[in-house]
């Protein structure tokens, strides 16, 4: 008789009432459970639970009654909204399901205790501390469970491609402030990008920002591109009115590369060319599907597109970390992160800077254009039509020639020069960052420590408020210098004497010029005659109290503060990210130094974002004077970068000039007030000898206030932080070991490591 009762119980269990698939998803997400957690509790595969929630399959006993028990308890806690339709009875059992219980031993019974463990606290759970779990906005969950993907154009009209969405375990950290789970624009509600990976069950998954995970039905790269544009709802709204929306970014992990028939790593030859061969099967697949690649081909940052039709764009950007798309110098170990963590890192960067368009250098340059698009729509003409016209304040859509003095060696403007001619200061503009050092004085050798301070985002600060040329240069003979006119000036500044300089209105200071670098040359040497300088350098000579008489100049009458928006965007990205790491902009000097101590270890992923933002600044400025690379180029021939309107060496020179001058101004103010002089300067790092190990041991503060115009501790761009401290004895031993009394100790002050390679031996 007991056997009959068991059979009856099994029959009842096989028809345990379940809510419809959409409600199953809602209940699970409402309690913050992931598909993986449910699958583990029920001792089934993740794909099995996903199938139950998508309606593709139905649970069988003994899992069915356990699953029903879980959903019933969740429904008690999270009843359906009042305006929601009453859940229909369980869907009919698929024809392939016989309803018979599983054979004994095939699937173990799920203990009630295990289900109870999942729901033992099914009263609204105690909030998880922010430091442990990223918040999941309600609207993001609603979007994840209510969105209906569009039907694929490659399928019959009466079928749709089901794309399930789920909340999966993400990094157990606080989501950075201001980083949404998805976009506010409904076109891009799943965020700017997705990391494509393949799980152990063989399911292709798209990890998006905010912890959202999408099932990917695409079986090939062309299908993946199609899915991205039609169904994934990825992308980012434009940053400026006349601009364009950012194309969706798809990141392919090694498992995704294997799934789609791409190599996990490039060969040596492919690394040199920066792409896979044109005859690769994936490229042929794209061609058959009428997708195109840019001239750079299928490389680490491939762009796949179809020609635009009207205002509609059809373009997807690929990022392939295992092909070195994420340079470790700037992105650290980002390329080795699990998919969810990588999506977080790139998502924070995208939300605060922009969706990556290539290397940090490429993205830095693209950000300039995105904030100042070259064209805009005109006002309606007599026929009511609008036309494309120049966007004021931009660099325009056509490149302009630089001045001959601004051209790097090998430029077509210099092709008439003798082959081995070396241009001197009177022929070539040479505005570069500092690389200067001097021997220590006897008094400095009696001190105990060398302390390095570093200017935060120095080159970004140099760009802030800077007036730069927007158009082509005009050659002028014997001009009167105008500090408000951007350009390049041929002028003799050898008469400027740093032993007596103006440090304030009608206030002069006597200094030891032998202990100071010249502000006019990167090596800190005093100029010997006429040389080409950017406007900020010449203006500083006037500020120091000396007359200037330019011999000639290339000036740009069309000008503006082109980089202000670029600076503001990168500054805000930097400050927001370091604030997430516990370093605020309003800390006292002592608290700031304490907050900076080990700040990268508090969240290594956000520390990667900080490095990437800083690299975006330097790389973007460097791209303004990009040199030929691997193009079979010969001196005198044009190279690819010259065709860009953003190839502007004059703007780069002006930013570097202003950055170097800003630093020298602080050095002079500090010397005039304290009598302390730098031992070494490298780019944005300055080293002083001191008796203590902290910057507070030599930076003058009075009642918590710094020297006006001097160095100030803080996280804002232009302020300084502690770079590193070493013993004075260390510095002397290093210089003696390499027989280099003027070895630049600023290069090694951070950790004290010096190698023969560093010293050129």
Answer whether residue 464 is part of any domain: no
d(CA 536, CA 544): 12
Residue 180 and residue 326 in one domain = yes
Q: Say which residues have a Cβ less than 8 Å from residue 727's Cβ, sequence separation at least 6.
A: 448, 449, 450
Residue 16 and residue 99 in one domain = yes
Q: Which two tokens mark 536?
A: 């900020």
Are residues 662 and 462 in contact, defined by beta-carbon separation less than 8 angstroms? yes
DSSP string, 408-437: PTT-GGGTTS-TT----TTTS------EEE
3-state helix, strand, coil in the chain (%, to 5): 35, 15, 50
Q: What is the pLDDT of residue 758?
A: 59
Confidence of residue 506 (pLDDT cuts 50, 70, 90): confident
Answer whether residue 569 is part of any domain: no
pLDDT at 133 over 70: no
**Which class for 761: exposed (0-12), middle (13-18), buried (19 or more C-beta within 10 A)?**
exposed
Q: What is the pLDDT of residue 544?
A: 96
Q: What is the pLDDT of residue 725?
A: 98
d(CA 278, CA 565): 39
Task: Return the closest-CA partner of residue 299 out of 280, 279, 325.
Answer: 325
Greater model confidence, 313 or 128: 313
Residue 166 and residue 77 in one domain = no
Are residues 511 and 500 in contact, defined by beta-carbon separation less than 8 angstroms? yes
| Cα–Cα distances in angstroms (integers) from residue 620 to residues 202, 260, 441, 563, 574, in the given order | 40, 33, 39, 11, 15
**What is the residue-averaged pLDDT of the chain?**
85
Residue 92 and residue 228 in one domain = no
**Which class for 655: exposed (0-12), middle (13-18), buried (19 or more C-beta within 10 A)?**
buried
Q: What is the pLDDT of residue 307?
A: 86
Digit-coded pLDDT (tens) for 686-724:
999 999 999 999 999 988 899 999 999 999 999 999 999
d(CA 746, CA 86): 71
pLDDT at 51 over 80: no
Residue at which a domain ends, from 332, 356, 380: 356
d(CA 376, CA 154): 36
Digit-coded pLDDT (tens) for 361-411:
999 999 999 999 999 988 888 888 888 899 999 999 999 999 999 999 999
pLDDT at 128 over 70: no
Confidence of residue 16 (pLDDT cuts 50, 70, 90): low
Q: Which two tokens mark 18?
A: 């379940």
Digit-coded pLDDT (tens) for 724-752:
999 999 999 999 988 888 899 999 999 99
The backbone torsions φ and ψ at residue 197, rounded to the nearest 5 degrees and listed phi first, read: -140, 165
Residue 165 and residue 103 in one domain = no
pLDDT at 172 over 80: no
Answer whether residue 346 is part of any domain: yes
Are residues 363 and 354 in contact, defined by beta-carbon separation less than 8 angstroms? yes
* Mean pLDDT score, 465-483: 97
Task: Return the closest-CA partner of residue 410 out of 649, 646, 644, 654.
Answer: 649
pLDDT at 650 over 70: yes
Per DSSP bridges, beta strands 530-534 and 312-319 are: unpaired
**Residue 154 DSSP SS3:** coil
Confidence of residue 631 (pLDDT cuts 50, 70, 90): low
Q: Which residues pair with 293 in a beta bridge?
A: 304
- Angle (deg, nearest 10), helices 564-580 and 339-352: 140
Task: Return the closest-CA partner of residue 650 out of 492, 489, 469.
Answer: 469
Element (H, E) at 67: helix 63-77
Percent of the chain predicted with pLDDT > 90: 68
Tell me the Cα Rg of the chain. Answer: 32
Answer whether residue 424 is part of any domain: no
Q: Which residues pair with 509 in a beta bridge?
A: 501
Residue 137 and residue 89 in one domain = no
* Mean pLDDT score, 257-279: 95
pLDDT at 136 over 60: no
Residue 268 and residue 303 in one domain = yes
d(CA 488, CA 533): 5
Residue 207 and residue 341 in one domain = yes
- Cα 602 from chain centroid? 19
CATH number where 26 lies: 1.10.260
Digit-coded pLDDT (tens) for 62-95:
888 888 889 888 888 888 775 554 444 443 333 3
Q: What is the pLDDT of residue 265?
A: 96
- Which residues of 75-191 form beta strands (DSSP E)? 165-167
pLDDT at 254 over 70: yes
d(CA 280, CA 571): 42
Q: What is the pLDDT of residue 3?
A: 57
Q: Say which residues have a Cβ less than 8 Å from residue 733's Cβ, sequence separation at least 6.
A: none
- Angle (deg, nearest 10), helices 649-674 and 535-543: 20
Residue 51 and residue 140 in one domain = no
The backbone torsions φ and ψ at residue 686, rounded to the nearest 5 degrees and listed phi first, read: -125, 135
Confidence of residue 184 (pLDDT cuts 50, 70, 90): confident
Confidence of residue 210 (pLDDT cuts 50, 70, 90): very high
Helices (H), 190-277: 221-230, 254-259, 268-273
Residue at which a domain ends, from 321, 356, 391: 356
d(CA 106, CA 45): 14
DSSP string, 354-388: ----SSHHHHHHHHHHHHS-SEEEPPP-TTS---E
Q: Say which residues have a Cβ less than 8 Å from residue 478's Cβ, sequence separation at least 6.
A: 550, 551, 552
Q: Which two tokens mark 429?
A: 């503009």
* Mean pLDDT score, 99-104: 34
The backbone torsions φ and ψ at residue 390, rounded to the nearest 5 degrees and listed phi first, read: -60, 135
Answer whether residue 585 is part of any domain: no
Are residues 199 and 348 in contact, defined by beta-carbon separation less than 8 angstroms? no
Residue 84 and residue 137 in one domain = no
Q: Which two tokens mark 606?
A: 């956000």
Q: What is the pLDDT of residue 741?
A: 87
Are residues 461 and 455 in contact, defined by beta-carbon separation less than 8 angstroms? yes
Digit-coded pLDDT (tens) for 411-467:
999 999 998 899 999 999 999 999 999 999 999 999 999 999 999 999 999 999 999
Answer whether residue 213 is part of any domain: yes
Q: What is the pLDDT of residue 604?
A: 96
Residue 94 and residue 142 in one domain = no
**Residue 508 DSSP SS3:** strand
Residue at which a domain ends, from 298, 333, 356: 356
Which range of residues forms the domain containing residue 88? 1-126
User: How many CB atoms lie under 10 A from the CB of residue 162?
Assistant: 13
The backbone torsions φ and ψ at residue 430, rounded to the nearest 5 degrees and listed phi first, read: -130, 75
Answer whether residue 326 is part of any domain: yes
Residue 296 and residue 185 in one domain = yes
Looking at the structure of the chain, the number of domains it has is 2
First to last CA, the chain: 93
Answer whether residue 175 is part of any domain: yes
pLDDT at 660 over 50: yes
């Amino acid at each position: 008789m007991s056997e009959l009762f068991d059979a009856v119980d099994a029959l009842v269990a096989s028809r345990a009432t379940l809510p419809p698939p959409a409600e199953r998803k809602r209940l699970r997400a409402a309690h913050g459970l992931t598909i993986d957690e449910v699958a583990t509790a029920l001792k089934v595969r993740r794909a099995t639970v996903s199938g139950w929630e998508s309606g593709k399959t139905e649970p069988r006993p003994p899992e069915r009654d356990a699953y029903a028990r879980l959903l019933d308890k969740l429904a008690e806690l999270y009843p359906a909204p009042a305006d929601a339709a009453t859940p229909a009875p369980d869907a009919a059992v698929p024809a392939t399901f016989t309803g018979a219980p599983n054979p004994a031993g095939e699937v173990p019974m799920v203990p009630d205790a295990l289900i109870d463990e999942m729901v033992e606290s099914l009263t609204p759970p105690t909030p998880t501390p922010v430091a442990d779990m990223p918040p999941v906005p309600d609207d993001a969950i609603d979007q994840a469970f209510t969105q209906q993907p569009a039907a694929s154009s490659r399928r019959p009209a009466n079928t749709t491609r089901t794309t399930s969405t789920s909340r999966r375990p993400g990094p157990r950290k606080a989501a950075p402030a201001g980083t949404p789970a998805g976009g506010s624009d409904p076109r891009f509600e799943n965020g700017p990008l997705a990391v494509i990976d393949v799980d152990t069950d063989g399911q292709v998954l798209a990890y998006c920002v905010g912890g959202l995970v999408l099932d990917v039905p695409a079986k090939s790269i062309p299908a993946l591109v199609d899915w991205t544009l039609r169904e994934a709802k990825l992308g980012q709204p434009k940053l400026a009115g006349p601009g364009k929306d950012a194309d969706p970014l798809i990141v392919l992990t090694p498992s995704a590369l294997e799934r789609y028939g791409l190599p996990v790593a490039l060969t040596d030859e492919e690394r040199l060319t920066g792409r896979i061969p044109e005859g690769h099967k994936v490229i042929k697949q794209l061609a058959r599907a009428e997708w195109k690649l840019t001239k750079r081909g299928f490389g680490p940052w491939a762009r796949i597109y179809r020609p635009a039709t009207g205002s509609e764009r059809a373009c997807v950007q690929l990022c392939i970390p295992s092909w070195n798309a994420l340079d470790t110098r700037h992105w650290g170990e980002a390329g080795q992160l699990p998919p969810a963590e990588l999506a977080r890192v790139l998502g924070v960067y995208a939300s605060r800077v922009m969706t990556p368009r290539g290397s940090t250098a490429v993205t830095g340059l693209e950000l300039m254009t995105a904030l100042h698009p070259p064209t805009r729509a005109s006002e309606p003409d007599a026929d009511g039509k609008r036309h494309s016209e120049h966007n004021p304040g931009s660099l325009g859509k056509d490149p302009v020639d630089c001045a001959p003095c601004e051209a790097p060696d090998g430029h077509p403007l210099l092709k008439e020069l003798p082959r081995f001619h070396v241009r001197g200061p009177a022929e070539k503009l040479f505005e570069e960052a500092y690389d200067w050092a001097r021997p220590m004085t006897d008094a400095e050798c009696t001190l105990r420590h060398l302390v390095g301070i570093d200017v935060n985002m120095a080159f970004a600060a140099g760009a802030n408020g800077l007036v730069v040329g927007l158009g082509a240069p005009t050659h002028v003979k014997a001009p009167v210098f105008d500090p408000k006119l951007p350009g390049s000036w041929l002028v003799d500044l050898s008469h400027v004497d740093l032993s007596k300089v103006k440090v304030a209105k009608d206030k002069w200071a006597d200094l030891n010029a032998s202990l100071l670098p010249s502000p006019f040359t990167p090596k800190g040497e005093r100029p010997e005659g006429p040389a080409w300088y950017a406007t900020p350098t010449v203006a500083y000579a006037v500020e120091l109290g000396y007359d200037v008489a330019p011999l000639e100049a290339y000036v740009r009458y069309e000008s503006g503060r082109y980089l202000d928006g670029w600076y503001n965007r990168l500054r805000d990205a930097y400050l927001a990210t370091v604030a997430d790491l516990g370093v605020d902009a309003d800390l006292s000097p002592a608290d700031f130094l304490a907050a900076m101590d080990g700040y990268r270890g508090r969240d290594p992923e956000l520390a990667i974002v900080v490095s990437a933002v800083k690299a975006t600044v330097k790389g973007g400025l460097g791209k303004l004077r990009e040199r030929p690379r691997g193009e079979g180029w010969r001196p005198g021939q044009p190279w690819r970068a010259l065709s860009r309107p953003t190839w502007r060496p004059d703007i780069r020179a002006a930013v570097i000039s202003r950055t170097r001058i800003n630093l020298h101004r602080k050095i002079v103010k500090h010397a005039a007030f304290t009598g302390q002089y730098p031992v070494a300067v490298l780019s944005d790092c300055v080293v002083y000898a001191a008796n203590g190990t902290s910057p507070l041991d030599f930076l003058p503060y009075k009642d918590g206030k710094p020297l006006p115009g001097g160095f100030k501790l803080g996280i804002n761009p232009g302020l300084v932080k502690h770079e590193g401290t070493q013993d004075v004895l260390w510095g002397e031993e290093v210089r003696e070991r390499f027989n280099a009394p003027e070895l630049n100790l600023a290069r090694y002050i951070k950790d004290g490591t010096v190698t023969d390679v560093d010293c050129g031996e």
